[in-house]
Amino acid sequence: MTGPDPDALHPMPHAPAVTFLAPLAAGRENVSAGRFSYWDDAAGHGDFFGRQVLYHYGFIGDRLEIGPFCAIAAEVQIVMNGGSHAMSGFSTFPFNIFGHGWEEGFDPETWTAEHRGDTVIGPDVWIGRGAVLMPGVTIGAGAVIGAQAVVTGDLRPYAVAAGNPAREIRRRFDDATVERLLALAWWDWPAEKITRNLNAIRGADIEALEAAT
């Protein structure tokens, strides 16, 4: 056995809220989701990219990338650049979208200047219930984001972060171990190799993981 089918939408029949994201991402514009990454669809609406990912409009071109083996709790929201307002003038009100003459003279560059780029969630990231990710953040591999946290900036690999705005509380492992884990990148291994070495992956013995075959 080599684990669940990564293309199954609901890999656990007894827990239908657990939803693999890769099947939901298939065919969607400007999104990707790695194998085995899942979301807790507690509300049962089945539309992560349409309802939990906010203001993600294809014409803007910003991407959402979710790595493999991520665990995303219920009520997490990922805010994309389409929710930005121009802030360089005296008012942030989006007059132009209402038309009827209010669009005249609007310079789109004042809006695009607020864009923060792509949102990238690395592999093996755990995001707690109700957390909010703001546009353009990069979450490093193995990071943990606490419930209700509001992430406004990048997080290092294997950081534990919480709060509003989220701040790194600690790092799960020392810097040397983190570098070795990133070099191993076990999340890219074939499913057969991961299955053979689950105890090393679940454990905290870096030498045992490096010796995995």
The encoded tokens of residue 16 equal: 């239908």
Helices (H) and strands (E) in the chain, counts: 6, 15
Active-site residue, 85 included? yes
Is 66 in contact with 37 (CB distance < 8 Å)?
A: yes
Is 76 in contact with 126 (CB distance < 8 Å)?
A: no
- CB contact burial 37-65 (16+ within 10 A = b; e otherwise): bbbbbeeeeeebbeebbeebeeebebebb
- Bond before 108 cis per omega within 30 degrees: no
Rounded to whole angstroms, the Cα distance separating 32 from 45 reads 20
Catalytic residue among 10, 56, 85, 115, which? 85
Active site residues: 85
